[in-house]
Structure 1
Amino acid sequence: MPQITLEHSTHFDTTDFRALALEIHQLCDTHVGATIQSCKTRVVRVENLIIADGAPEQAMAHCDLRILSGRTQEQKTALADAVQKAMLKHLIQYDGPRQISVEIGNLDKPNYRKDVLG
């Protein structure tokens, strides 16, 4: 926990997603008390997608961030706002039409399992 997925269209290929992910990890620590060591981010480049009217210049980036249940709505809202701000800061090299979004969801504590090996 947290489980983070950063999906992006090919318009953002030059973005330093490692730097963005590390900033998001820090924000998870700051806003919801998750340890940086527990954060996991997957960066997914999406080649086949249709946005709005299907024009090829339409771009998108989305952060799906799942945290263990039990956080307050205020904590989740603060985290979403901070992650959105970080994404806007890092995703500046493309200035065409783009949609940048964030969703904070819950991982149900009783049903979430994790082992750290080695």
Structure 2
Amino acid sequence: MPQITVETSPALDHVDWSAFALALHPVVVEIAAARLEACKLRTLRTEYEVVGDVAATGTGGPAIVHVGIALLAGRSDETKAKLTEATLELLRKHIEPTDGVTLHVSVEVRDLDPSYRKFEA
């Protein structure tokens, strides 16, 4: 915990997602009272995007980024909203605009299911 997943379009392969993770983790610690060593981020590159009636073409069209942050239960809605806004601001700083690409960015902060368990080896 926290489990952070970034789903990203191929049109955003130029983004330094490691730098984004290293910037985001301290923000999660500050806002959500998490431990830095517990923050885990992984990126998942999507293969194909369509927004409305427009498909991505490789050189243009839509590009989608969705960040999901899952936390152990107990954070207030206000804390989650603050973390969502801070994450959106970091994304604005880390994603350079690309000609011909329309960017669609979203963030969701949610509670992990009570069944969540982990181990470290």
Determine if the TM-score, normalized by the shorter chain, exceeds 0.5.
yes
Q: Does 1:115 align with 2:95?
A: no
Kindly, what percent of the aligned residue pairs are identical? 36
Unpaired runs of 5+ residues, structure 2, are none
2:33 aligned partner: 33
Q: Which amino acid aligns with 1:106?
A: D
Larger deviation, residues 77-86 vs 41-50: 41-50
CA distance in 2, matches of 1:60, 1:111: 30
1:16 aligned partner: 16
Unpaired runs of 5+ residues, structure 1, are none
The 3-state SS of whatever aligns with 1:113 is coil
CA distances 1:5-56 after superposition (whole Å, capped 9, x unpaired): 0011111111000010121111110100111100111111111222221232
1:63 aligned partner: 67
Let me know the Cα RMSD of the aligned residues. Answer: 1.3
CA distance in 2, matches of 1:91, 1:19: 11
Equivalent residue pairs, number: 116
Q: TM-score, normalised by structure 1?
A: 0.91
CA distance in 2, matches of 1:81, 1:115: 30
1:104 aligned partner: 109
Q: TM-score, normalised by structure 2?
A: 0.89
